[in-house]
Every structure is written in C-alpha cells, then in structure tokens.
C-alpha cells in the first residue's frame, strides 16, 4: 500500500525581487506579502505597494462627487478656500470676541441641514449655549441678545418684536427636541479643556459615530496631564499632530478654532480690523506646519474713512466705533496650501440680525477698496475724495 503524500507547499516568492523566500517570516499569515531576507526590511516600505496605495487615494480624490464634499455656507468662503477636504486640518483664527463662535455656529447649522454628522467640542461654552445659538439662527434672532438676557428684558417691557422672537424660540426648542435625526447627527462634547488623552478619546467617539467632521472651538484650551508633557506648548504641539493624524486616519476634515494675540501686534488698536497675520497666532510654527488652510476673521472699517481718524483712533482720542463697520465680517486666507493666488486675499460677509450671509458684490467691492486704501469712481471723483 502506497502511503499518502503531503500536498506540496507553494513556494513563497519575494514580493520585491521575486526570488525565493529563504527565511520563514515571523507571524506570516495567508495573504500577507512575503519578502526574502535581503528585502524583508522593505515590508510596509515597499515603493511599489505604497505607490499603488497612493494612486488609489489620488483616484479617490479625483472621482469624489462634489455632493460628498463639505462646503462652507457662503459662496465667498468656498471661492476663497474651497470646500473642506478629508484628511486635512483647517484653522479659524480671530482675536477674542472676533466672531469665531458665531462663524462656527453658522457652519454647524448649515452642515446639519445638509445631513452631515458632526462632533463638536465647544470649549468656550456648554451644550445648552450651542442650542441657543442654533435656535437663534433658526428664527433669525441675535444669539448675543438671547444669551445676555436683553431679549427677555425687552419682552418684559412689552416690545412686540421681542415677544414674537421669544415665542418663536420656544417653538424652535420644541422642534429640536422632537428631531431625533438631528440629535443623532450632532454630538456636543462636555470637556472643558483639551489634553492629549481627552482629545484621543473624543476622536474615538467621533469614529464610532461615523462623524463627517470634527470641530474644536477652540484648540488653545490646553491642559497638561500628569506624565504626559512638560509644558503647555509641548501639549499644544502634540494636539496639533494628533489632530492631523486623526483627520488622515478617519479620512475626514477637522476644523480647529484658534486665538490671535493682541500682544503680538504691538498692541495696535486697529489690528482687529486689518487682515490678520500668522505671526499673531499662538504656537504659530506648528499650526502652519499642520494646516491645509488658516482662515482669519476680522471686522471691516467703513468705506471712505479719513486717514486722520485712523491716527486719532490709534492715539486713543477717537472711539473705534467711528471707523468700524457694524455689519461686516472679513475672512482672509492667512495660509491656503492649495490656494494659489487666493493666499492673503480677503472676502467680506454681511453680519446682521444674528446671521452671516454673502455680501452684495458691489458693496463688497466698495468696502474692500476702503480697507486697502483704494479710491473708487471716476478720476474727478477720486481727486475730490483725496
């Protein structure tokens, strides 16, 4: 009787040189690419394998449907910076009180209406305040009026407009409560300060929720946990790096609000109303390194301001309110990795009755011209103005 024979084992070939695999690979499993002892060091670094993976990603970007991208609520912003792309960090920078939270709340409201799932870390406010802002956008009320209780006080005096807005907000909260889909789309974190550990946990929760993007307002609220890092700047560095890793790993955009510092402007009283500079950022070098885009927010000055008035404002003998436009928000491409000629360009948005909207083209042109000291009109009109 002939004994049964063992089926021959298929000879493994090196994925790089196609020679025989002369040394068994530790932990080798079926389907894993094998390498000979001379080229085993190339495992996970094989240029052919990595190149194929990179081309797959490039083709994914090439064939991405515009409807799958996350756009800004405003035409001016989409033209300036383009939509939010997966795997990239975008910073929104402004001085304290410069409109970061209002800007991001408008974005949040827009993204939710488009069916996006968002993980939101509002480190400067609590979840209740976020819903106050969303409700105000729903009915066209000023969030500042509602949160400062001025709206309630106006209602108590019998102000007809305040009574109507107060009643509409009551309805908005009731509708929010009943919208299960909305509440499942939006997760508002309750953490009060960022540590590397807490941020990693929030990213894991976002991944479990299959969030379309993560928003942090703002990323400079850092704390150092025992055993982590020696200083806040080291913690900040680690957080920026973790954010970029998370964006790439989850293949989603992450938006980080960050603060500009007046002390870095030489305490210029008009710095809040000029195109912002990355030199004014906290931890500037790391953020510039990590960011695909840094968008600066500022207020705009009124058209046709007398230059002497600006000198008087800087000297403190004239109030800033004399030169500042109440209803304009300027957005500047401080850094646009793929912006080309759009870098350092500024666009304007209208900010009225608690809502941010695109600005009429003619009005935008006039205000921007004034911002840059350009006189519009015919030659005779420009001579008279000068």
What is the C-alpha separation between 115 and 367, in angstroms, rounded? 35
Domain 69-126+190-385 has what CATH class?
A: alpha beta
Weakest-pLDDT range from 54-58, 231-235, 359-363: 359-363
Weakest-pLDDT range from 24-33, 119-128, 232-241, 320-329: 24-33
Q: Following DSSP, what letter does each residue of 223-274 receive, concatenated?
A: -PPTTT-SSHHHHHHHHHHHHHHHHHHHT--EEEEEEB-GGGGTS-TTGGGS
Q: Are 295 and 344 in contact (CB under 8 A)?
A: no
Neighbours of 76 (CB within 10 A): 19
User: Residue 225 phi/psi, 5° resolution?
Assistant: -85, 155
- Cβ neighbours of residue 159 closer than 8 Å, sequence gap 6 or more: none
The arithmetic mean of pLDDT across residues 29-46, rounded, is: 81
Higher pLDDT, 147 or 378: 147
pLDDT of residue 28: 52
Portion of the chain with pLDDT greater than 90, in percent: 46
pLDDT of residue 360: 77
- Per-residue pLDDT reduced to its tens digit, 304-352: 778 888 888 888 888 888 888 888 889 999 999 887 666 668 888 998 8
- Per-residue pLDDT reduced to its tens digit, 78-106: 989 999 999 999 999 999 888 899 999 99
- Cβ neighbours of residue 49 closer than 8 Å, sequence gap 6 or more: 15, 33
Q: Are 275 and 346 in contact (CB under 8 A)?
A: yes
Weakest-pLDDT range from 14-23, 48-57, 367-376: 367-376
- Cβ neighbours of residue 12 closer than 8 Å, sequence gap 6 or more: 20, 21, 34
pLDDT of residue 8: 44
pLDDT of residue 362: 62
Weakest-pLDDT range from 59-68, 118-127, 155-164, 235-244: 59-68
What is the C-alpha separation between 22 and 345, in angstroms, rounded? 60
Weakest-pLDDT range from 42-51, 188-197, 224-233, 264-273: 224-233
Domain ranges of the chain: 12-41, 69-126+190-385, 127-179
What is the C-alpha separation between 228 and 88, in angstroms, rounded? 25
What is the C-alpha separation between 191 and 210, in angstroms, rounded? 20
Q: With 0-12 CB in 10 A as exposed, 13-18 as middle and 19+ as buried, what is 139?
A: middle
Q: How confident is the model at residue 369 (pLDDT cuts 50, 70, 90)?
A: low
Torsion region of 311: left, alpha or beta (phi above 0 gives left; psi -120 to 50 gives alpha) = alpha
Neighbours of 228 (CB within 10 A): 13
Task: Report helix angle 196-208 to 232-250, nearest 10.
Answer: 20
Which two structure tokens, joined as six digits, stand for 321?
A: 């309110």
Q: Write down the pTM of the prediction.
A: 0.83
User: Residue 10 phi/psi, 5° resolution?
Assistant: -65, 130
Q: Are 121 and 214 in contact (CB under 8 A)?
A: yes
pLDDT of residue 237: 92
pLDDT of residue 384: 44
pLDDT of residue 281: 93
Give the three-state DSSP class for 199: helix
Mean pLDDT (the chain) is 85
What is the C-alpha separation between 211 and 251, in angstroms, rounded? 10
Name the residue with tokens 């705009």: 300
């Amino acid at each position: 009787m002939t004994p049964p024979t063992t089926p021959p084992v298929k000879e493994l070939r090196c994925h790089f040189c196609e020679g025989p695999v002369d040394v068994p690979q530790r932990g080798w499993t079926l389907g894993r690419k094998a390498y000979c002892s001379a080229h085993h060091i190339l495992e996970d670094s094989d240029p052919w394998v990595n190149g194929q993976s990179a081309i797959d990603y490039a083709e994914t970007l090439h064939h991405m449907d515009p409807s799958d991208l996350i756009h800004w609520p405003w035409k001016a912003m989409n033209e300036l910076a383009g939509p939010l792309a997966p795997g990239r960090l975008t910073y929104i920078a402004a001085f304290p009180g410069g409109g970061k939270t209002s800007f991001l709340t408008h974005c949040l409201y827009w993204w939710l209406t488009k069916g996006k799932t968002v993980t939101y870390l509002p480190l400067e406010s609590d979840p209740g305040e976020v819903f106050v802002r969303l409700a105000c956008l729903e009915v066209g009320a000023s969030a500042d009026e509602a949160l400062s209780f001025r709206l309630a006080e106006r209602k108590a005096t019998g102000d007809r407009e305040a009574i109507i807005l107060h009643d509409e907000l009551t309805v908005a909260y009731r509708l929010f409560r009943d919208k299960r889909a909305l509440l499942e789309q939006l997760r508002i974190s309750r953490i009060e300060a960022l540590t590397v550990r807490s941020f990693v946990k929030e990213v894991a929760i976002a991944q479990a929720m299959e969030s379309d993007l993560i928003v942090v307002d703002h990323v400079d609220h850092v704390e150092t946990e025992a055993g982590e890092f020696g200083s806040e700047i080291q913690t900040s560095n680690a957080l920026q790096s973790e954010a970029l890793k998370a964006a790439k790993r989850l293949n989603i955009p992450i938006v980080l609000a960050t603060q500009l510092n007046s002390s870095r402007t030489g305490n210029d009283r008009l710095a809040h109303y000029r195109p912002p500079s990355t030199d004014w950022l906290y931890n500037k070098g790391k953020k510039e390194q990590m960011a695909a885009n840094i968008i600066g927010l500022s207020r705009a000055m009124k058209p046709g301001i007398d230059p002497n008035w600006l000198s008087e404002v800087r000297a403190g003998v004239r109030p800033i309110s004399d030169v500042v436009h109440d209803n304009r928000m300027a957005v500047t491409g401080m850094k646009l990795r793929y912006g080309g000629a759009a870098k350092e360009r500024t666009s304007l948005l209208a900010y009225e009755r608690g809502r941010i909207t695109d600005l009429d083209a003619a009005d935008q042109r006039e205000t921007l011209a004034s911002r840059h000291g350009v006189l519009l009109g015919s030659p005779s009109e420009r001579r008279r103005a000068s």
